[in-house]
Structure 1
């Protein structure tokens, strides 16, 4: 690859555009006084060193890089509840400005490590001065608890290069189950949480309960 900056330009543009669009979805819900299923959105273009390392590990040639590496452009959508994840996926399926090529549900089909997330590979058209260029991008949709676990696991994976000590691996699996249990518990009290958040967001306080006359006597 002679010029990585030139090669990655459309990927940077795609990430910037998609962040604006996905955050716009959240804003639309807020403007309608509805709780958005999207908590926040982040995005990045994979660093060149990471691309090179993955090319070597996955035996990807330069000629096949655009087709075989799906996560050069990556977006991450964070949600409060597991149910929000599937609502966001449905919203993405209905969009006409991107094409979904592949979906992988690692939430109810978690990886052996305990990793949970919903992965979507999309084809996204970027308008360049030379014309339209379609690129692949990966969108990961997960809860805040899933993201916390995945961030820690990613850091440890970098340290151990995927070869975790057996005890550490077992601890990570238990932590993943604990994180998913937290998500499950929060889903069960979702109505209470949503009502409280609505009152907090709009500065409203619940009406105080009137004392029962029988209690006063």
Structure 2
């Protein structure tokens, strides 16, 4: 009877034991085992395996744990996380990443340190995290070392980016502001959202509408 393993992998964030170092160690050992084609004592021979997963999923349910959104071999924008050797021979190299990835403008939503009324801050951060992705802030994760202001900025930015940088998503009653200075710090990445097909379509439609209006005005003149 052939054996097929449907999912095998190691997450890289969202838990104290989920990081790139542990993930690489796991895959190195796993590929060495698979290269031998030994199988198990009861089922010797080749085993077909599906790695889990390809890219991180920022909208995946975290009911099993905050690490659920970080199983990808690639980051959300298609960059390989660490070198690996699928042959199991120890010849590490980075997998080929995605090409031609387009991003939204290089801007971030951060905590406005000049804000005076902070009464809604806790609620706003909770809202941003519930509608965004704050799994990198949990204890032991990549962004847990940020100070309070940094964590607030991270939460606000994740919500802002996941709303395709809608300016209305970076206000929070004056507690947030948009900046063009990269907010990433201390090994914690503040991502910039990739340009989705929907945003492209909207932008193209707006440009076409503007061109049509301009042509109409010229004809009227």
How would you bin the TM-score normalised by the shorter chain? under 0.3
| TM-score, length-scaled by structure 2 | 0.22
Structure with the higher helix share, 1 or 2: 1
